[in-house]
Structure 1
Amino acid sequence: MKKRLIGLSVAASLALVLGACQEKEKETVTDEPDVTVDSEEETVKEEEASSFVSFQLDPVLSEELDASLYHISEMRGYGIVKQDEEGSYIYIGSGVKETGGHTLEVEKAELNDGHMTITVSEIEPGEDEVVTEALTYPHHMVFVEDEFESLEVVSVDGEAFEDINREESEAE
């Protein structure tokens, strides 16, 4: 009888834990306007009409696009990897880092008069944080459906990322 009771309580606990893990979570990405991220699909959605645009983080890529990331992941900067009638795939990377614990977060994308500005945060590990001792390449692929004429990527501190598609960048 005790074994049966213990087995039922373990099964009930498992059901509660698994059910809680499947719930969708929403988190706020920026303060103005209210923008939320659906952590299951990683798609940012607008709640107010403004110059903010919707974008998708790390979409499923074709083998060809995925292979191109390998060649540019060591570079710090951004570049349009593919652009067609569906939208633009934009690589944004922090370059090679000596340890784990570094992250790159896309804060927002804004479109004003044909000019797209994507703002990112580069986060370093804390001094006392235990990190992996391995080379890492913090980056994101951002998919934007909106059309734009020019593009820039800046940090929240206002530092401009370099366009890795420019010829001067490739020659360095």
Structure 2
Amino acid sequence: MKKILFLVVLLSLILTACKTEKIDQGNRKSDLEFTVIDEDDAPQEIINMIENQKQEPFRFSYANGNDLYIVVGYGEQPTGGYSIQVKDLYVTENAIVIDTDLIGPSKEDLVTMALTYPRVIVKTEYIDKPVYYN
């Protein structure tokens, strides 16, 4: 029963994330203040979804009371040393837009020689609009 419920929630998140709608990014209403949080501070539901999807790139949002969590993962990477930069987070008339970049290690960096799964969890105020990812 838990697996079925999880699959229904996961499918609804995927379908919501895949919705196509024209966003007027030039009609930026305001920037959103946000905090990048550690997984230890994230709701357990987010951790469970990350664990089930981490090997492939993923994007989803999760609302919890007054907070909105936006999660972006870049899938399996061959080494450590990767980071994710949140370049922008803002509101338009019809959406919340987040822009992130995966930054790989430089040739000079000493990195862990193990598979890693870079992801970022952004916490911001809840706004009842769909999230679009750049």
Q: How does the TM-score come out when normalised to structure 2?
A: 0.67
Structure 1 residue identity aligned to 2:56: M
**2:47 is the alignment partner of 1:66:** yes
**Distance in 1, Cα, partners of 2:47 & 2:58:** 17
Larger RCO (CA within 8 A; separation ≥ 6): 2
Alignment of 1:103-114 (within 5 A): 103-114=83-94
SS at match of 1:67: helix
Corresponding letter in the other structure for 2:101: S
**Cα gap change, 1:130/1:138 in structure 2, threshold over 3 Å: closer, same or farther?**
same
Q: CA deviation at 1:128?
A: 3.3
Contact 2:87 2:100 in 1 (8 A): yes
The residue number in structure 2 matching 1:78 is 59
Hey, what's the Cα distance between the residues in 1 that align with 2:42 and 2:91?
Answer: 24
Residue by residue over 1:56-78, the C-alpha shift from the partner in whole angstroms, topping out at 9 and shown as x without a partner, is 21251233432322112222131
Name the residue aligned to 2:107: 127
Larger radius of gyration: 1
In the other structure, the counterpart of 2:35 is 56
Aligned residues: 104
Matched to 1:125, the amino acid is P
TM-score normalized by the length of structure 1: 0.54
Gaps of 5+ in 1: 1-49, 155-172
Pairing of 1:139-158 with structure 2 (within 5 A): 139-154=119-134
State the Cα deviation string for residues 131-161 of structure 1 (Å, max 9, x = none): 111011111111221414221122xxxxxxx
1:105-137 Cα distance to aligned partner (Å, 9 max, x none): 212201010311111121111123321110111
Distance 2:48 2:64 in 1: 18
Question: Aligned residues: percent identity?
Answer: 22
Match of 1:44?
Answer: none
Q: Which deviates more from structure 2 when the two are superposed, residues 143-152 or residues 86-95?
A: 143-152
* Aligned with residue 95 of structure 2, among 115, 118, 138: 115
User: CA separation of 1:91/1:119 partners in 2, compared to 1, >3 Å: closer, same or farther?
Assistant: same
* Structure 2 unaligned blocks of 5 or more: 1-28
Q: Equivalent residue for 1:136?
A: 116
- The CA RMSD over aligned residues, in Å, is 1.9
Distance 2:44 2:126 in 1: 24
